[in-house]
Homo-oligomer: A and B are copies of this chain.
Amino acid sequence: MRMANTISRRVFAFLILTLFLISPTVAGNLRGTGDLGLIVERAAGSIQIIETTNNTSLGRIKGLGDLSHASAVFSRDARFAFIFGRDGGLTKVDLLTRKIVKRVIQGGNSIGGAISDDGRMVAVSNYSPGGVKIFRTDTLEMIADIPATYGQVIKKGTTTITISGQSKTVGLVDAPGKKFVFSLYNAGEIWVADCSKCLEGVKPKITKFKNVGKLPYDGLITGDGRTYIAGLFGEDGMVKLDLWQDKLKAERILDGYGKGEKKLPVYKMPHLEGWALAGNRFFLPAIGHHELLVMDAGSFKQIGSFPVYGQPVFAMARPDGRQIWVNFAHPRNDTVQVIDTHTMKLLKEFKPGKAVLHMEFTPRGEQVWISVRDADRIDIYDTKTLKLVKSLPAQKPSGIFFAARAMRTGL
């Protein structure tokens, strides 16, 4: 009887402890996820989970491997993030419990990924061994492997040269209709993978566009999911693919892009994600020049340019398109400029600190978060007053990604 009593007391104590331990954790986690986001801390291999309603940090998740150049996409319920690390790691994290759900090393050297419009598939792009792999978002089980094998036969008189190999893949994006689009760096090709039936075990249907230009280094898809554009490292100009046409055809655009003037050394290739759509104009970073190019979004022709402080890396449009926020390559990476796209005037120039690496707007654009790596700091600005609202500490922060990206094509 006494023993039974002691046992029951122990169980009792254990239960009370359990209740106390569980309740705050679970209650603390019971929250909306639409205002969540993450900050990549590249040196530490960790991410910080933040929220943008009260601008606070909620915690940190460690053990994500090599996060240099890491990026993230989000599940359609805005609860989970899929993080693409440089070491080929694909990590699914739970923003609510702030735990790693699963982590797989899917390649040797990865360079970004994308999530399908139905949220059921995540695709990863690899430098080594090249190619694209596609995984189920619920289990991270691989459902398709697309090696980027290419071959070319060149005949010169009586000589035949055969080139073949595995290409690095870059500029991977999602497109409406469960499609992924990406570029083959070494092959100069763009591939469209239709994954409508990948979840049923059917291989993706690949459409290949060859000889699109030399060394495509990055790509983007317009917010409406209609136009894929790749930048070319090996030549002037870019290449676009209008996915709405019945007969898809890769077309060259901006043929003078970067030509005609003595080039400056290029310190950092600009990110094509940083193409800013404002009304019917794109603002895009000029490569190696201290300017943004202004392009008509209908004709894809350059219609002007805007001088900026340094070589632009990201030119990000506030969601309404009224402002463009620009950061720059080393050695001018301590500065941010804000441009009014309507008056075409410089609104503000300021120096948050060394190594401004990334900027992310809240979905409705009232605030922007800026990572200042060497200051170990995130700065949050009000985009109406252009004033600093708050700073948060972060360990060598690079990319900032908000869960609202789940609602957008190509992000």
Contacts and interface: CB of A to CB of B under 8 A. Distances in A.
Contacts of A18: 19
Given A22-B23, A27-B26, A407-B407, A33 B77 contact: yes
Contact of A32 (B15, B16, B33, B407): B33
Given A27-B26, A78-B78, A298-B280, A322 B244 contact: yes
A34 B78 contact: yes
Contacts of A159: none
A244 B343 CA distance: 9
B364 A77 contact: no
Nearest to A384: B177
A75 interface: yes
Contact of A176 (B15, B95, B366): B366
Nearest to A52: B76
Interface stretch (A5-13, A122-130, A347-355): A5-13
Contact of A225 (B52, B320, B384, B406): B320
Interface residues of A, number: 67
Contact of A119 (B53, B119, B322): B53
A79 B407 contact: no
Contacts of A29: 30
A68 B95 CA distance: 37
A101 to B, nearest CB: 13
A147 interface: no
Interface in A273-313: 279-280, 298
Nearest to A16: B15
A45 interface: no
Contacts of A320: 176, 224-226, 409
Interface string A345-382: 00000000000000000111110000000000000000
Contacts of A140: none
A77, A226, A321, A407: which has the most chain B beta carbons within 10 Å?
A: A407
19 contacts: A1-B1, A11-B12, A19-B22, A29-B30, A31-B77, A31-B79, A32-B75, A32-B77, A33-B34, A34-B404, A35-B76, A52-B76, A76-B362, A176-B365, A176-B366, A224-B319, A224-B321, A320-B409, A363-B407
Given A26-B30, A176-B320, 14 more contacts: A5-B5, A5-B8, A12-B12, A19-B22, A33-B34, A34-B403, A34-B407, A35-B78, A224-B320, A226-B279, A226-B322, A244-B342, A364-B408, A407-B407
